[in-house]
Amino acid sequence: MTADRPETLDVRGFPCPQPIIDLSRRIGQLTAGAALIVLSDDPAFPLDLEAWCAGCGHDLLELKSEGRLHRALVRKAGP
């Protein structure tokens, strides 16, 4: 992963709470300030993601939904 091209975590096909669990594990492996694209088709994902980011201090930079597909860009908080 480079600073201008974030990795993608594809959690499509997994129901709640698995997308957030996988996101939490993956973002824990990143350095502070790194961004991650997350793809999900779980209907609860947008609300779960917003709550998770607020609770953990990570930045939800973008959240787009097209039909059942949700695409988010999350930046890991500092130490």
pLDDT digits (tens, 9 = 90+) for 31-52: 999 999 999 999 999 999 999 9
Query: Could you tell me which residues are beta bridge partners of residue 69?
Result: 66
How many structural domains does the chain have?
1
Contact call for residues 23 and 50 (beta carbons, < 8 A): no
Q: What is the mean pLDDT of residues 5-15?
A: 96
2 falls within a domain: no
Please identify which of the residues 7, 12, 14, 16 carries the catalytic annotation: 16
59 falls within a domain: yes
- Is-catalytic flag, 16? yes
CATH of the domain at 54: 3.30.110.40
Share of the chain above pLDDT 70, in %: 95
Contact call for residues 45 and 13 (beta carbons, < 8 A): no
At 31, give phi and psi (nearest 5°).
-85, 155
Structural domain containing residue 11: 7-75
pTM above 0.85, yes or no: yes
pLDDT of 72 > 90? The answer is yes
71 falls within a domain: yes
18 falls within a domain: yes
32 falls within a domain: yes
How far apart, in whole angstroms, are the C-alpha atoms of residue 11 and residue 42? 9
